[in-house]
Amino acid sequence: MKAGMSDHNKRDALRVPVKCKVKIRPLDYGSAYYGNCTDLSVTGLTVETSYVPRPDEQFDLFVMPPSDGTGPRVPLAVRVKVVRCHQMERGQMYELGLLILKVIR
């Protein structure tokens, strides 16, 4: 790995840029939160949301695939763990780095 690389670029798996809506479902079954997935790999993803998680928090995430006009869309459902959280807009938007722990469906 090159010295000086940002944490965002320290990846073992290739990340693919995407624009997909997501639903965040905390494990305590409280209120759902929504956001946008901006990149995805086999090991993790980045989400922009107003939800502020606890460090190392786990939750279920539902990623809606883009519409291609061919029929119903089935979301990717995964259990994830928060590995980073950066504020993007003061008190409004956060960028979450998430590790995929388990594919639910």
| Range of the structural domain that residue 47 is part of | 12-103
Model confidence pTM above 0.85: no
Number of structural domains (the chain) is: 1
In a domain, 2, yes or no: no
Q: Which pLDDT value is given to residue 6?
A: 47
| Confidence category of residue 1, pLDDT binned at 50, 70, 90 | very low
| Cα angle value 29/86/60 (rounded, 5°) | 25
Measured torsion, CA atoms of residues 74, 41, 51, 92, in degrees rounded to the nearest 10: -120
Interatomic CA distance for residues 55 and 40, integer angstroms:
20
Q: What is the mean pLDDT of residues 90-101?
A: 94
Radius of gyration of the chain (CA): 14
CATH code: domain of residue 21: 2.40.10.220
Mean pLDDT of 29-36: 94
Domain for residue 83, yes or no?
yes
5 within domain boundaries = no
Look at residue 4 and tell me if it is in a domain: no
Smallest CA-to-CA distance from 31 within 55, 3, 51, 49 is with 51
